Amino acid sequence: MKLIIANPATGQHKVVEIDDDNKLRVFFDKRMASEVEGDAIGDDFKGTVLRITGGNDKQGFPMKQGVLTNQRVRLLFKKGMSCFRERRKGCRKRKSVRGCIVGPDLAVMNLLIVKKGDADIEGLTDQMLPRRLGPKRANHIRKLFSLDKKDDVRKFVVRRDCPDKKKKSKAPKIQRLITPQLLQRKRHQKAVIRKRMQAGKEAKEEYMKRLAEYHQELKEAKANEVAKKKGKKTD
């Protein structure tokens, strides 16, 4: 079985191939997102805690979280579910996926280092790789660089070098960035809504006033007709 071990802290990953089932027995009957001690893999991983994030069986079917079995099942998928990409709007599809419980039929298992051990592991914890892509959302950038709300997020965006193109570097467009223009636009939109509500209120008052006058005119006209009819009868 191939173990693809990733270390998000350094940005490195390593592929470890293990044929001995005795070493893999620690992972068997464990579910996805379970944490396992890495001592069984080898002495390099002593004290390391690993989390199971997924895997594929020997036929290439991916593991799906929430399917509590160690076999393949056929499920009806729709938009928003993992292991499925919607090709046409509204379409659903029945697909085969592997359950989330680890077994000996897996060919590849993905692991994540949760806690680093005592010794450095070559290719995983020995060096720091630069981030190629950084976060786009303003709050995520603040969290990454431990910024305050007063700090300008635009100065801390992770830029990517483009040596072959005209632009030397490029950066993602920051999402949910609160700027003075955005606040001004919001104030303007609220003012427009407030103005529209005030105009509607005034129009309603004017309409109700005119309606009351109209009902009064109808009453007076009816009273005049009744008075005329009584006058004719007396004559």
DSSP-assigned letters across all residues of 151-176: S-GGGG---EE-TTSSSSEE-PPPBT
Q: Is 164's pLDDT higher than 90?
A: no
Distance CA 100, CA 29 (A): 9
Higher-confidence residue of 21 and 187: namely 187
86: Cβ–Cβ under 8 A, 6 or more apart, which residues?
78, 79
pLDDT tens for residues 35-55? 999 888 888 888 899 999 999
Distance CA 170, CA 86 (A): 30
Instruction: Report, as an integer, the average pLDDT of 170-184.
Output: 92
Instruction: Report, as an integer, the average pLDDT of 137-166.
Output: 88
Torsion, Cα 78 80 83 86, to 10 degrees, reads 60
Least confident range of 17-31, 96-110, 179-193: 17-31
pLDDT tens for residues 97-107? 999 999 999 99
* pTM for this entry: 0.66
- The per-residue pLDDT for 235 is 64
- Is residue 131 within 8 A of residue 145, CB to CB? The reply is no
- Is residue 27 within 8 A of residue 41, CB to CB? The reply is no
Question: Residues of the chain with pLDDT > 90: what percent?
Answer: 64
Helix, strand or coil for residue 16?
strand
- The per-residue pLDDT for 27 is 92
